[in-house]
């Protein structure tokens, strides 16, 4: 039987994502409901090491469910990946009496939590908070839905101007090494081509297809490129396209950090609320060192050590759909 958890520390770590605030709120309010004390750890693992840890109350999380970013702030902390850094963090938590942690972040953050939970007697729960959706064991990551909707809105607008000028646009979206934002936003905007890191990009095929379109006077084309694509980003793609299709009016748009900000969508608020609630229950009932996910609309728990290794796969059917629909 696991020791009873009485004081929970909650933090956000790595790149922020819309819905992190909704998750923090859910952790704080569920903890309070169950009579626990909750502490906010500022700037991820940096705040743990620097003892920047503040008590949180129900009112501390009022009026944040609709806000992007994270009220706890976030950081990527190299020091935590060294033994000494983790020791400092542990001493600070121990002094306050924190005996359970909820880490909202991506796979890098879970890697830290996994090492920490093995070294010390403080259980950690991970909540997948990343726009990239590059984590297995969950159908959703907090922030992906909002980010992809932001990308869709932007690409729709770009198509309006592309259409007015008969232009070919190469649009780069975020996702680090994952192509989910590109795939989903590309399909949803009817992009003619989508380039993702999960598949080897055949530039010759892309060029031939664009040349064929040019011949039949289909001049408005949207090529959505994931930033991690193996051929390179939008500028590399555009360079070759310009060389091989000199008559096309080619333009580049990099959507960038706009995809990380903004008010979270309804879906992101809902999953963040469910996951935050489930994280507290995990700590209370001894389901320790897991990542909370949602699979087929049911809560799903993946051991942290597995969550840091597994990636979501993209099925070939998605790419077949792109080819069939974007002709
Ligand atoms: O992981 C989220 C993410 O936005 C990636 O899509 C992107 O590659 C990276 O973070 C950008 O990081 P930074 O904000 O540190 O430049």
Residues 120, 157 contacting (CB under 8 angstroms): no
First-to-final CA distance of the chain? 59
Query: What's the token pair of residue 76?
Result: 């990527």
In ligand 1, the atom with minimum distance to the C-alpha of 178 is 6
Ligand 1: nearest atom to the Cα of 106: 1
Q: Tell which residue, 118, 124, 137, has the closest CA to residue 93.
A: 124
Helices (H) and strands (E) in the chain, counts: 11, 11
3.40.50.460, 3.10.20.90, 3.40.50.300, 3.40.309.10: which CATH number matches 146-260?
Answer: 3.40.50.460
The response to whether residue 131 sits with its C-beta less than 6 Å from ligand 1 reads yes
Strands 124-128, 100-105: pairing is parallel
Q: Given its phi and psi angles, is residue 166 left (phi above 0), alpha (psi -120 to 50 degrees) or beta? A: left
By most ligand atoms within 8 Å of CB, the mutation choice from 43, 44, 128, 132 for ligand 1 is: 132
Task: Enumerate the β-bridge partners of residue 127.
Answer: 104
For 252, other C-beta atoms within 10 Å of its C-beta total 18
Ligand 1 center–CA 15 separation, angstroms: 6
Q: What is the pLDDT of residues 31-78, one digit of tens each?
A: 999 999 999 999 999 999 999 999 999 999 999 999 999 999 999 999
- Domain boundaries along the sequence of the chain: 7-143+264-307, 146-260
Any ligand 1 atom below 6 A from CB of 132? yes
184-199: per-residue pLDDT in tens?
999 999 999 999 999 9
The Cβ-side half-sphere exposure at 294, using a 13 Å CA radius, reads 17
Report the separation in Å between the CA atom of 17 and the middle of ligand 1, taken as the mean of its atom positions. 10
Grouping H, G, I as helix, E, B as strand and the rest as coil, residue 41 is strand
In ligand 1, the atom with minimum distance to the C-alpha of 76 is 15
Q: Which atom of ligand 1 is nearest to the CA of 228?
A: 8
Question: DSSP secondary-structure letter at 229?
Answer: -
User: How many whole angstroms separate alpha carbon 19 and alpha carbon 266?
Assistant: 9
Sequence-separated (6 or more) residues with CB below 8 Å from residue 271: 19, 140, 142, 294
Ligand 1 close to Cβ of residue 252 (< 6 A) = no
Tokens in use for 248? 């096309």
Q: Is 134 in the pocket of ligand 1 (CB under 6 A)?
A: no
Residue 231: CB atoms within 10 Å: 15
H helices of 189-249, where? 203-215, 234-244
Is residue 175 lining ligand 1, measured as CB closer than 6 Å? yes
The rounded distance, in Å, linking the Cα atoms of 9 and 92 is 11
Nearest CA to ligand 1 atom 15: 15
Q: Does ligand 1 come within 6 angstroms of the Cβ of 135?
A: no
Cβ-proximal residues to 203 (8 Å cutoff; 6+ apart), any chain: 231, 237, 240
Task: Report the candidate in 16, 11, 12 with the shortest Cα–Cα distance to residue 174.
Answer: 16
Q: Which residues in the chain land under pLDDT 50?
A: 1
According to the model, what pLDDT value does residue 2 have?
A: 56
> Which atom of ligand 1 is least distant from the CA of 175?
6
Q: Cα(227) to centroid of ligand 1, in Å?
A: 10
Q: In CATH terms, are 7-143+264-307 and 146-260 the same topology?
A: yes
**Domain 7-143+264-307 classified CATH 3.40.50.300?**
no
Structure tokens at 285: 């009932």
Catalytically active residues, by annotation: 132
Can you give the pLDDT at residue 1?
A: 47
Q: Is the CB of 269 under 6 A from ligand 1?
A: no
Q: Which residue, by CA, sits nearest to atom 9 of ligand 1?
A: 176
Q: What is the pLDDT of residue 3?
A: 65
- Ligand 1 atom 8: the closest Cα is on which residue? 176
């Amino acid at each position: 039987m696991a020791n009873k958890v009485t004081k929970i520390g909650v933090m956000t770590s790595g790149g922020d994502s819309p819905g992190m605030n909704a998750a923090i709120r859910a952790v704080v309010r569920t903890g309070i409901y169950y009579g626990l004390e909750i502490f906010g750890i500022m700037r991820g693992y940096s705040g743990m090491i620097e003892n920047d840890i503040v008590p949180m109350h129900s009112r501390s999380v009022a009026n944040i469910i609709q806000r992007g970013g994270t009220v706890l702030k976030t950081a990527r902390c190299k020091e935590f990946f060294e033994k000494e850094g983790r020791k400092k963090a542990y001493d600070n938590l121990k002094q306050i009496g924190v005996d359970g942690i909820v880490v909202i972040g991506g796979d890098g953050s879970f890697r830290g939590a996994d090492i920490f939970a093995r070294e010390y007697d403080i259980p950690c729960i991970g909540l997948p908070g990343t726009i990239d959706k590059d984590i297995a064991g969950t159908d959703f990551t907090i922030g992906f839905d909002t980010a992809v909707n932001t990308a869709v809105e932007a690409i729709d607008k770009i198509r309006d101007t592309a259409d007015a000028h008969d232009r070919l646009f190469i649009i780069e979206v975020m996702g680090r090494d994952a192509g989910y934002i590109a795939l989903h936003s590309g399909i949803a905007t009817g992009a003619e081509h989508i380039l993702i890191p999960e598949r080897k990009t055949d530039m010759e095929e892309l060029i031939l297809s664009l040349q064929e379109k040019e011949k039949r006077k289909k001049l408005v084309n949207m090529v959505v490129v994931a930033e991690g694509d193996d051929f390179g980003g939008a500028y590399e793609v555009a360079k070759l396209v310009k060389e091989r299709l000199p008559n096309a009016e080619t333009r580049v748009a990099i959507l960038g950090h706009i995809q990380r900000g903004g008010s979270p969508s309804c879906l992101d608020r809902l999953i963040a609320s469910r996951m935050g609630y489930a994280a507290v229950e995990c700590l209370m009932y001894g389901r320790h060192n897991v990542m909370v996910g949602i699979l087929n609309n049911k809560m799903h728990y993946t051991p942290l050590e597995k969550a840091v290794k597994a990636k979501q796969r993209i099925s070939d059917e998605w790419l077949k759909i792109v080819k069939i629909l974007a002709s």
